[in-house]
Structure 1
Amino acid sequence: MQKQKGMSLIPLMMTLVITVLCSGYISSCSKRLGWGVVLWDVQNPAIPSGTLVPVYIKSKIDSVYVIGIPKEFQIKPEKKTDPVIDKKEVPLWQISFFSNRGKAQAFVKEFADYASLYAETLQDGLPIRAEPDNGARRVYRLRQGQVVKILSKAEGSPAMSGNKPLPGEWLQVLTDDGTIGYCFSYRLRIFETEAGKTLTSTQATISNPENDPTLESIFSKSWAPDWYQDMLDNQTIDLDTFTDQWGFFPSQDTGVLHLALPDFDKTYSYTAITKVDTNSWRFEGTPLVVTLRNTDLLGVQYEINGGIQRTALFVALPISVSDVITQEKERRLKLIEGMIAQGPVFQSETYGKITLSPDGSFQWEGFDLLVPRIIPQTAIGTGIISMRLFIRESIRTTYDGAFTMYFNALGGDGQPALAAPGTTIPVNFLYKVEPGSLRLEYLPSSSITGTSVLQRSSSPIILYFTTLEQ
């Protein structure tokens, strides 16, 4: 009996609290301030997210609203003589406030699809951003297993693993201390809950380096294979090997690491980051260890063939890979335009007629004397010119540069077999363009390593063309 008597005091005490609260803020709680929509499930009593409630008081000092408890959620008194608790104090962040009931009801409808949706982060340190973009300012860092409330979906830049978009979408979320921002869903476990259910983590938290500016710099930079820097320094961009598909692509927003090299390509998911020493970190759940060797040089240790360790080096370039590729394509196009400006038709009584087009394609008629010593018999007189070759300074005293003419080839049935550059028949030449003329010098494969022309032939074959008056 004593236990029941003690329990009957609880409603009375809650009534006194609300009464004191009301008298402390304003003279009465009966005057409604506006309307609110519950964003995060309220406990004791259980009021589910998405519920429309009257709002009577807002206290900036205590950061709370006093809301009315809808009748269907009110706790029934144990005794008829006990008062009904119809008001409750809740944190400001837990309520979306509206001065107008119509606007509040419209928000309830808009919010209905998300009212019961929560998410648990699967990655320690997963950031919440100010905007739905990987590059946006970070406003919060989640703990592994921390629960957030989903408020809506958002349109934004997709999270990437290298040059591939990851599955998922940007969500506007609310943390359990009132922070609102955007989080990518790839590393979130989305679930539904019922009002009154306590939201707890199902995973243990793993330590993650906090406020580590060096680690942050690794995530903030784009990491390309170290040989890209050599190409930039020497201004010899090989578009076949200088590509945005290769590199080291770490992401805080998704918990994904993508390591892409010509002979190795793998995507990893990590759960946390552990600091190994001053400039090294281990990504838990993967075999990867990264070491920042200097500001713009990163070593990534990985495994192949079941345990053999390798280390790849990556650099943070002063310009994005895509911008370098664009600039190189523009450079090559200008070189072709320079030749066209002197032509676009060049003719020779011995070697035929070459016609150049702005898109880099060519047509060569009457090259029979060059077959098969220079131009193979299966080549037909159409194709594409690629300014992919780079010559040494010593050769620049004689020639402007070098290019590859990719000839379309005859198929097995004798019909033209059109293919992209690289799968057609390549023939390399040095070239010199002068007013009214074009000089070509055949380059045998022995003169070229990769895209570098190392030397001229010891017995050069030189072709002279003059412009054809139109």
Structure 2
Amino acid sequence: MIFSLNRRFSANILRIFLLLSLLAVSSCGGKIGYGVLAWSVPDHDLHAGDVVPVFVQSNIGKVYVIGSKDSKDRLEVPLWQIQLYKSRSAARKAAQRDAEYRYTYALVKIDGLPIRSAPENTARQVYRLRAGQQIKLVRKGEGAPVMSGNSALPGDWYEVMTDDGSLGWCYSYNLTIIDEREYTGEQIVQTDSGPDPVLENLLSRAWYPDSWRTMIESSRIDLDKISPQWGFFPGRDSLVARIEDETGVRTFPYSSVVRGDDGDYRFEGSTLSVQVRRRNSILVQFTDENGMPQAHYFAALDSSPESLVSEERARRDSVLESIRSLSRAFSSGNYGVLQFPETGRFLWSGYQLLSPQIIPAGSGAGGSVENRVFIPASWSGDFDGVLSFKFDGSDSWIHFLYQLSSEGLKLEHVLSVKDALVQSRNLTPTVLFFSPANEVY
């Protein structure tokens, strides 16, 4: 107990001694060097890059005592806010080196924006910013572009400083860059008075992947890439926005939606923001769980996903029915008998010459047939389309260009298929010809 009291007494004596020392140094006007401000002190008309005298460094209080421009006032600033040099000339030289971004700050657009240890999106995170936070731009750097899908997001890498002195690199895509001499201090997001018809349209609709609109315009509907559950759903009533696709579901609880100065809509309380490109097209952006920026395009459609799926299935069935209307069975001297007993099903016997090069061994005698793949428009004079066969004993689809005539069914095997579109014909194609059979085998 006595030992504990002695330690407290000694600590108090030390604090008093340090305080008296600071007062003595301040009163005699001695300097320990000159500092370059890293962050502006507007209340004292001091700006980043100003060179000021430094009188005291307190590692206990973690502050410097500096002078104002006219050296009459003394004020304390955090240690991180000063770069200390022994001479005025060295400080001025350092200030000149960083003068380009002296007045340049930025406001953060989204919650969770990462600051990284290096100018690349895979570098270690050193800080996570919050929406509306102000940071200082130190310098521009060269780094790896930030990608969204196959496209690079616009912007540059900057070395930045936060308002607590943390340093690192941040990509400017989600920053609003400002000059402090021109910035009025208004909030980065503001709520307009009166109804906003663009926001009303945004919140009142379901939005689906923009690639669906491309499929509709090209009349090539890939049913493997359409589901009524996929899309962007703003959650106007629930205040929970949702993005759902083949990879899963992401939810974004939010408190309100406000319009930013650059015209985008921010879902407050989340990292989600939306840019309305046209009345029926939007860009949705957010930061994922790994701190990576994501961007996805969505569109409002004139038809519902359910009707798109229904119409495409009806189109495919009509193609198969046109073949069955000529004959339900076709025969070939080399490639056996091909039957279509019902829409969407086939039976194939005697195909040994095609196995295993085209039809895998053990595939069985039948399976599913669909008109699920498309041909380039320029091929329409040579082929009617593509028939795809999936044997019950196999997991893969086998694709054939087909041409139907009164003489029978011509098939040509193809391998090069991407995104439900035949890319090219084989250099040495296998061509099959089947004549209509008089009976079903």
* TM-score under structure 2 length normalisation: 0.54
Contact in 1 for aligned 2:205/2:233 (Cα 8 Å): no
Select 1:455's aligned residue among 424, 429, 435. Answer: 424
Select 1:223's aligned residue among 204, 207, 210. Answer: 207
CA distance in 1, matches of 2:431, 2:191: 69
CA distance in 1, matches of 2:198, 2:270: 21
Contiguous gaps of at least 5 residues in structure 2: 1-189
Residue correspondence of structure 1 range 47-446 to structure 2 within 5 A: 210-263=194-247, 265-277=249-261, 279-409=263-393, 424-443=395-414, 445=415
Query: SS where residue 357 of structure 1 aligns?
Result: strand
Contact in 2 for aligned 1:279/1:293 (Cα 8 Å): no
Q: What is the CA-CA distance between 1:307 and the residue it aligns to?
A: 2.4
Could you tell me which amino acid in structure 2 is paired with residue 288 of structure 1? L
Q: What is the CA-CA distance between 1:373 and the residue it aligns to?
A: 1.6
Could you tell me which amino acid in structure 1 is paired with residue 427 of structure 2? S
CA distance in 2, matches of 1:370, 1:261: 38
Distance 1:209 1:223, change over 3 A: farther
Could you tell me which amino acid in structure 1 is paired with residue 432 of structure 2? L
Could you tell me which amino acid in structure 1 is paired with residue 339 of structure 2? T
CA distance in 1, matches of 2:197, 2:261: 14
Query: SS where residue 424 of structure 2 aligns?
Result: coil
Query: SS where residue 369 of structure 1 aligns?
Result: helix
Q: What is the CA-CA distance between 1:353 and the residue it aligns to?
A: 0.8
CA distance in 2, matches of 1:214, 1:426: 45
Q: What is the CA-CA distance between 1:333 and the residue it aligns to?
A: 0.6
* TM-score under structure 1 length normalisation: 0.51
Name the Cα RMSD after superposition: 2.0
Could you tell me which amino acid in structure 2 is paired with residue 460 of structure 1? P
Instruction: Give aligned pairs, total.
Output: 250
Distance 1:321 1:209, change over 3 A: farther
Write out per-residue CA displacement over residues 318-360 of structure 1, whole angstroms, 9 at most, x where no aligned residue: 2222211111111101001111101111111221111103331
Q: What is the CA-CA distance between 1:455 and the residue it aligns to?
A: 2.0
CA distance in 2, matches of 1:210, 1:454: 52
Q: What is the CA-CA distance between 1:306 and the residue it aligns to?
A: 3.7
CA distance in 2, matches of 1:329, 1:210: 45
CA distance in 2, matches of 1:373, 1:311: 42
Distance 1:392 1:355, change over 3 A: same
Q: What is the CA-CA distance between 1:207 and the residue it aligns to?
A: 7.3
Q: What is the CA-CA distance between 1:395 and the residue it aligns to?
A: 2.2
CA distance in 2, matches of 1:308, 1:375: 43
Tell me the residue number matched to 2:185. Answer: none
CA distance in 1, matches of 2:300, 2:207: 5
Distance 1:467 1:318, change over 3 A: same
Contact in 2 for aligned 1:207/1:272 (Cα 8 Å): no
CA distance in 1, matches of 2:257, 2:426: 56
Contiguous gaps of at least 5 residues in structure 1: 1-205, 410-422
Could you tell me which amino acid in structure 2 is paired with residue 335 of structure 1? V
Contact in 2 for aligned 1:379/1:425 (Cα 8 Å): no
CA distance in 2, matches of 1:277, 1:262: 34
Tell me the residue number matched to 1:466. Answer: 435
Distance 1:392 1:267, change over 3 A: same
CA distance in 2, matches of 1:431, 1:215: 49
Distance 1:311 1:362, change over 3 A: same
Query: SS where residue 225 of structure 2 aligns?
Result: coil
> Sequence identity, in percent?
30
Could you tell me which amino acid in structure 2 is paired with residue 216 of structure 1? E
Q: What is the CA-CA distance between 1:408 and the residue it aligns to?
A: 1.3
